[in-house]
Amino acid sequence: MAEDLNDLKTADPASIVAAFVHAWERNDTEEIVELFSEDAVWYDGYPANKFETRAEIRAQLDRYSRHLSDISIEVLHQATEGDVVFQERVDHGLRDGKPFSVAAVCVFRVRDGKITENRDYWNPGAYRRKTDQTS
């Protein structure tokens, strides 16, 4: 793993989220999962698709990782208030070899060096339509 996860146990929430973004860019499912607490909740495409616990999150990430490559995440704005990190960003990459860009707002809650909640506000339908159109 590129990040030393032991060093992150005492890191501030913004550093944990930065490690999360870098793990996504490497499509490193193991590191992404390790950054979540055991009882984490991830809302993917909030308010739809709620995944609870590392096991459910890992299963969804495994499904994603088979289709995604060349990921880059452009963080447009970020703010931190206590244990909450807000990001406005654009995720770019390839899905099954077809380019995509998707705008998102992501809200993270971090405690004791782990992400306990991640709410991703984006439009999965628009993402699917965009990648389907590039066929």
φ/ψ of 112, rounded to 5, equals 50, 40
- Given a contact cutoff of 8 angstroms between Cβ atoms, the answer to whether 120 and 100 are in contact is no
Percent of the chain whose pLDDT exceeds 90: 74
Side by side, the strands of the sheet bearing 98-111 are 50-52, 36-44, 114-121, 98-111, 84-95, 68-81
Q: Let me know if residue 102 belongs to a domain.
A: yes
Q: Let me know if residue 45 belongs to a domain.
A: yes
Tell me the pTM.
0.85
Q: Let me know if residue 103 belongs to a domain.
A: yes
Percent of the chain whose pLDDT exceeds 70: 83
Residue 123 banded pLDDT, cuts 50, 70, 90: confident
How far apart CA 71 and CA 135 sit, in angstroms, is 19
**Number of separate domains in the chain:** 1
Q: Let me know if residue 66 belongs to a domain.
A: yes
Domain interval for residue 59: 7-133
pLDDT at 60: 92
- Among 62, 73, 121, 75, smallest CA distance to 101 is for 73
Q: Let me know if residue 2 belongs to a domain.
A: no
- Given a contact cutoff of 8 angstroms between Cβ atoms, the answer to whether 113 and 8 are in contact is yes
Kindly tell me if the per-residue pLDDT of 3 is higher than 70.
Answer: no
Q: What is the CATH number for 43?
A: 3.10.450.50
Q: Let me know if residue 1 belongs to a domain.
A: no
Q: Let me know if residue 123 belongs to a domain.
A: yes
Q: Let me know if residue 113 belongs to a domain.
A: yes
pLDDT in tens, 20-67: 999 999 999 999 999 999 999 999 886 777 999 999 999 999 998 999
